[in-house]
Amino acid sequence: MSSKQAAAPVEQGPAGVLGVFHDVDSLLAACRRMRDAGFTRWEAHSPFPVHGLDEAAGIKPTVLPWIVLACGLTGTSCAILMQWWMNAHDYAYIISGKPFFSLPANIPVAFEMTILFSAFAAFFGMLGLNKFPTWSNPLFRVPEFERVTADRFAIVVDAKDPNFKADGGFLKQIGAKEVVVVPADPSSGKFPLWFHGLGAVATLAAMIPVALILRARFVTSEKPQIHVVPDMDFQWKNKAQTSSSVFADQRTMRLPVEGTISVDQPVDANLLDFRNGASTVQVEGVGTFRNDLPMEVTEELLAMGEERYAIYCAPCHGRGGYGDGPIHQRANGLSKDTNWVQPRNLQSEVGLALSTGQIYDAITNGKGTMQPYASQLSVEERWAVVAYIRALQRSQNATTADLPAGVQPEESK
Amino acid sequence: MTDTAIKGVPAEDDPRSRVPLAEPGTGLTKITDTVAGIAERPETPKAWYVAFTIALSLLGVLGAMLAYLIWNGVGVWGNNNPVFWGWPIVNFVFWVGIGHAGTLISAILFLTRQNWRTSINRFAEAMTIFAVACAAIFPGVHIGRVWLAFYLFPLPNQMQMWPNFRSPLLWDVFAVGTYATVSLLFWYMGMVPDLATLRDRARHKVRRFAYGLLSLGWTGSGRQWSRFEKAYLILAGLATPLVLSVHSVVSFDFAVSQLPGWHTTIFPPYFVAGAVFSGFAMVVTLMVPARQFFGLKHLITMNHLEVMNKIILTTGSMVGYAYAMEFFIAWYSGNAYEKFAFINRAFGPYAWAYWTMVSCNVISPQIFWFKKARRSIPIMMVVAVFVNIGMWFERFVITVTSLHRDFLPSSWGYYRPTPVDMLTFLGSFGLFFTLFLLFCRFLPMVAMAEVKTVVPEGHAGHGHGHKEGASHE
């Protein structure tokens, strides 16, 4: 292959001249003479690193170590900065109570990235300083050069050297066994036109996916998202509010079987009814409410009512039912200008006028700004609270007539 | 060389003398012809095809097992409560450990001027890279949803989350990733001059193009060598702390968690010694048949093998010391859980694995105290294979014995691998040997340029003396 091209007519004049040497000693001696003769653009080639060649050929130390040092320090800083930014700044997340940023935990990654950056610098720095890759070289067309990477040595003088002579007479003088002319590279060194065309098309084609991704970042779409990997996005199950082909009524959500009893609801429908009872009152604009207690008032019921009242009612309505619980006092204490509405004073005229049904309704469904307490209090508990409120009202508005017979004061007799 | 011989000791056995680095009469031409000739053989030997077919079949097994795993999920493995770290982590640590010898030979022996490394470093570096490739499979697939493996790396994502840099598992990603990258650069860069040799010897157009592409335009000029040697020295300097850090970080996976049997400070040096131990054993396992088969006996001499056996003996004894020290600390610390973990390790349900490990790793290399054993091919092959087995069991013992006895006795269990576990591990050898056989067939197995620097012809002042004998033309 090389011999065919070497035989081609040389048009631009030679690229250089090559002298072949057979051993290390004659190469080193020749290098010293080349250096001393004032040659500037020449190279000694050997199949392995020859010790003493740098001195003999006058090669200066490479700057590579400084490049590696700079890149290594960059790696350390990048690693520390990255770990601080990711774990202590952008996504600070408490894990096992560890500090967000602590050097001991960040040393391993900082160390590894220092090594990684330095190794890249050493490798690519070596390539860059040697101008690799250089796949085309006039030397590769000279058959005599082929053994220089195996078991021969060579000195190549570039045609641009001021002392250059195409006959290579000086190389013969300093001991070269063979001297050959290195013909100039006949190729133009440019890529053919079709390569540029192909390159342009390939570049444009490569941009299409990037452009589509960028577009998707900024454009909304009504189409469902693309699931490259479905994971558990699609599951073989019927969801609520969808139709089903399994059941005759085509409903996915099933109704309870007839006669089903909820575990936390009382069986007695009378307890749930706060409108109809043994005695009722007509409240204008709202409707009829019962005004009796559907449960037998016992000491246990009142004790339960007192306890529940203290937990759920007293914070607003106060232990005495005057609508002066700690929340009300706190709200008033904060500012007089708030829209705070005082909780119902159960001892006021309006409060005393409330029927048992109305109180039960307020506990169950809420009233005004009061939230419903149906999920906190069972039906029995609600009636117990109603009974307790009644007792509370009576305790605050008692007259001597309410005292049992035998303990009436003297003057009322 | 020594000036005064010791009475009754042959010159080559003199401990003060350096071992011959290549057999006498191995000149530049012979080195080139031997090493490049292997890659240039016009006809591939039949034995290579047989070996390659076996390796490819095992690689197929690996592919099938991984596909089965990815399709079904990690339930196909034996990993289950309380042993969630089963064979995958064992195999990962095993392969990473094997990958340590290459860089150790290339970097540490280079920095300490152990020139005997030149014959074996290329081979060992290649082994490193293929072993790390095998290791990388296991953490990659054990995460369950492999298509989310990129979460291992700090990449911006739609959830605006970043990985936890306080976890040793993330340190591992950086350590192993850096190690694989630097090993690959080191291996490839060292090979560039030899690829140029193959390029210039190639007669076939395709070969010339391929080797030409890979050799990047190397001409072997003084300036190229100067920068190359500096870069090589720097990479060796970088790889030395790196190789020590990698297995230290791997050991942090265990040591940083608060589990009896794992939470010990001895782990990093103990793991590094074990890694070098297993790596050298694997080098011997592969080197002995390769030098026989490819006719490299005059480059990789019995002296090289003997030196490696000495390292196996040294590191094997260090590992044995670590085993003993773990027991001592378990007793000396007065920690009841630590004590239980070690008594259970040696005499519990996995005692069979523990004693396999001790026999293979501590007892079997002791035969290398005898010079005859160090220089006997059958003995070193048996010991090397034992060490490979023993080092796999070491990782199994560490992982499984500490996990199978949970803090909650109701969670205690006995870990058993499934056939999928076993076939995946077997298949990973397929990947290793496929890559290795391709390397042996197409790339320079011995660092030619480096070996040339240690033969007499490679030095100034020796050239004339050897000129007549060494010029073969």
Q: What is the pLDDT of residues A60-70, one digit of tens each?
A: 999 999 999 99
The pLDDT of residue B385 is: 96
Q: Nearest to residue A136, comparing CAs of A92, A87, A191, A85?
A: A191
Taking only the tens place, the pLDDT of each residue in A290-340 is: 999 999 999 999 999 999 999 999 999 999 999 999 999 888 877 666 778
DSSP state of B360: I
How many distinct helices (H) and strands (E) make up chain A? 14, 6
Kindly indicate the confidence band of residue A81, based on its pLDDT and cuts at 50, 70 and 90: very high
| Burial class of residue B41 in the structure, from the number of CB atoms within 10 Å of its CB (0-12 exposed, 13-18 middle, 19+ buried) | exposed
Kindly indicate the confidence band of residue A6, based on its pLDDT and cuts at 50, 70 and 90: very low
Q: Nearest to residue B383, comparing CAs of B323, B308, B444, B333?
A: B308
H helices of B143-266, where?
168-201, 205-214, 222-255
Cis peptide before B456 (omega within 30 of 0): no
The pLDDT of residue A403 is: 82
The pLDDT of residue B135 is: 93
**What's this model's pTM, rounded to 2 decimal places?**
0.76
Q: Nearest to residue B129, comparing CAs of B439, B353, B404?
A: B439
Q: CB contact, 8 Å: A119 with chain B?
A: yes
Contact B387, B361 (CB under 8 A): yes
Q: CB contact, 8 Å: A40 with chain B?
A: no
| Burial class of residue B99 in the structure, from the number of CB atoms within 10 Å of its CB (0-12 exposed, 13-18 middle, 19+ buried) | buried
Least confident of A131-140, A349-358, B71-80, B100-109: B100-109
The pLDDT of residue A7 is: 43
Chain A residues within an 8 Å CB radius of B164: 87, 93, 95
Mean pLDDT for the stretch of residues A237-242: 87
Chain B residues within an 8 Å CB radius of A145: 200, 219
Q: CB contact, 8 Å: A48 with chain B?
A: yes
The pLDDT of residue B369 is: 96
Chain B residues within an 8 Å CB radius of A130: 223-224, 227-228
Give every residue of chain B whose pLDDT is below 70, as ranges.
1-26, 461-473
Distance, CA of B444 to CA of B299 (rounded, Å): 13
Mean pLDDT for the stretch of residues A184-193: 79
The pLDDT of residue A223 is: 87
The pLDDT of residue A330 is: 87
The pLDDT of residue A113 is: 96
Q: Report the complex ipTM.
A: 0.89
Mutate to test the interface with B, among A23, A85, A144 (most CBs of B within 10 A): A23
Predicted confidence (pLDDT) at residue A5 exceeds the cutoff of 60:
no
Distance from CA of A19 to the nearest CA of B (A): 13
Contact B446, B296 (CB under 8 A): yes
Chain B residues within an 8 Å CB radius of A22: 467, 471
